[in-house]
Structure 1
């Protein structure tokens, strides 16, 4: 059995769904079920005996110890995190608690479990920590992409908390010998993403006839990674990665935010045309957020060289799949977009106009 934290969130749930489709190995899935955790995403697994769900906060050491004792997982895949930059600006405390204190607590529980295993199982155990490219800071237009040896330079409370968690994971390997793996990924997109992030927010707003708010001049650049590709990369790292190593996971798709929104609008114009005009007509510019990094780019050559992994989707194919999924799963979107979420969008975006 493997243990997955944050398995009701966007990337974690996609990983669990993919894993159960491709493996007979059971999954112990733990999630605190904050606003971004949604059991509805896991409905396809509700009658699957290979999927065990427990509502647990990774800061709860006693609960973690009990689960490790009962299920004895052979690996931990740590997705659980507060992950939205804008929310970290408005309320950084939750990010420090979950991303740093929670990771510390999970590491200690995993270390205790690992120390009790027979030697062969101890050698095979893995703790895979899923992190972000935002820990590396911001790039100028001509700068080389982030590599695994790029110095950390986080610029937001979110990225600082993730950088802190990365350092904890590294330290637990070098100090205690815990066999850890770390992945740093670029911007994910795809099915089941909570509609506070750029792509699902724009899809929902466009279909709702609302403004499409673009920060600043819209020229901020991100590398875009389809979530299914990210899940396949994590499986490869878990299976064949070298303990103590970090692996950057990217899509080789650098895009300006404005170009992403233009492409989305064009896809919606094709798949769900308006009665008149284009969805591009709804684009508006809002005041930029504080500390908004200008450019991220991932150099994923190590992952391809060492483990033979590269993404299967281009940005165009992945985005078309994503738009089609949201059009066909409006009920899921309606269920997660609660009144609290709509209030947050009003505070964060509409008051910036």
Structure 2
């Protein structure tokens, strides 16, 4: 693995400015339709299973947690076309691990000109400068990560040249809905509608269920509310597992509609974004029941497939469960990361 020298943020920004025929500015809300169209073109070229949407970009821009003025840049050519984005989204709400999302991209017909190298250098430099300027006693490590299709060689080479290593592979899995099995009855557990009044309780159950999983950090209430209030979230598809004897939430399936994916594939699908069962209640078929009820709701709404993503090294046996329910791998995504441990 080779490493480039980490530039100062000012130096990295100067390198971007020196690229010929490109002008850079932070994402403005008025830029988002053009940026969404730009990402769609990149994702189609790269066969990326994870796609941006205009609504998602707007939610990012509007979130009180976001700082698009500091964390983003968009590069335009003289004709006003988006050529590249530089996006180092710093999670300012969580200190257990200081996460930075590296979401830059370069238009396919402008790759090979050194733009991507300058973009990633700025993203890393910005993340390091932010961490240095804001770090306090007790903060956890800085984790910078980008995600790309596993077979995207140009991203792999770029990431490795900048010190980012392969951390995890994720399988995107899909199941046709024509023959969904019947939802089983469970002893002392009922599968019921999503209840916004129980959102806080569900939040705690879901976060606890993922303790120890790679990359997991507990979310603030604000982060949870943004997820369950997003344009993609579907309350009518989402379900809770309630223990009848205690009336407590012991599991949940939070389901979403990523319509930008439908437009790309031509297949309307329901996506299970979060599937969680309390550790004390595992091994009782609750996860299976939550997924089957989700499938039933997808089908009633006219969806043709049920989809989800799972880590290839998931320790909970989730991959085996999904395969037993008929899910098949459709694509694979790779997470590249650069982690700087906290200095004590």
As a proportion of its length, which structure holds more helix?
1
RCO higher in 1 or 2 (8 Å CA, sep ≥ 6)?
A: 2
Q: TM-score normalised to the size of structure 1?
A: 0.31
As a proportion of its length, which structure holds more strand?
2
Q: TM-score normalised to the size of structure 2?
A: 0.32
